[in-house]
Structure 1
Amino acid sequence: MTGRPQDLEVELPDRPGALADLGEALGAAGVSLEGGGVTTVGDRAVAHFLVLGGEAAVAAVAGAGLGRAVARDVLTARLAQDVPGQLGALARRLGDADVSVRVQYSDHAGNLVLLVDDADRERARAVVARWRPGDA
Structure 2
Amino acid sequence: MKDICIRDIRTAHDLARISSILGAAGVGLEGGGMWEGVARYLVHDGSAARAALLAAGIAHVDVNNVLLLELDVDEPGALGRLMAELAADGADLVAQYSDHENRKVLVMRDSSPSIAAPS
Match status 1:34 vs 2:30: yes
* More helix as a share of residues: 1
User: Alpha carbons of 1:13 and 1:113: their partners in 2 closer, same or farther (altered >3 Å)?
Assistant: closer
Match status 1:77 vs 2:77: no
Letter aligned with residue 71 of structure 1: V
The one-character-per-residue Cα deviations of 1:14-63 (angstroms, maximum 9, x if unpaired) are 455111000000000000000001011xxxx1110000111110011112
Match status 1:22 vs 2:18: yes
TM-score normalised by the chain length of structure 1:
0.82
Displacement over 6 Å in runs of 4+: none
TM-score normalised by the chain length of structure 2:
0.93
Unpaired runs of 5+ residues, structure 2, are: none
User: Alpha carbons of 1:67 and 1:15: their partners in 2 closer, same or farther (altered >3 Å)?
Assistant: farther
Q: What displacement does 1:12 show?
A: 3.3
User: Alpha carbons of 1:99 and 1:60: their partners in 2 closer, same or farther (altered >3 Å)?
Assistant: same
Match among 51, 63, 80 for residue 59 of structure 1: 51
Distance 2:105 2:79 in 1: 11
Instruction: Give yes or no for contact 1:13–1:67 (8 Å, CA) kept in 2.
Output: no
Q: What displacement does 1:121 show?
A: 4.4
Identity of matched residues, %: 36
Distance 1:39 1:115 in 2: 15
User: Alpha carbons of 1:119 and 1:13: their partners in 2 closer, same or farther (altered >3 Å)?
Assistant: closer
Q: How many residues align?
A: 119
Distance 2:67 2:113 in 1: 8
Unpaired runs of 5+ residues, structure 1, are: 132-136
Match status 1:101 vs 2:93: yes
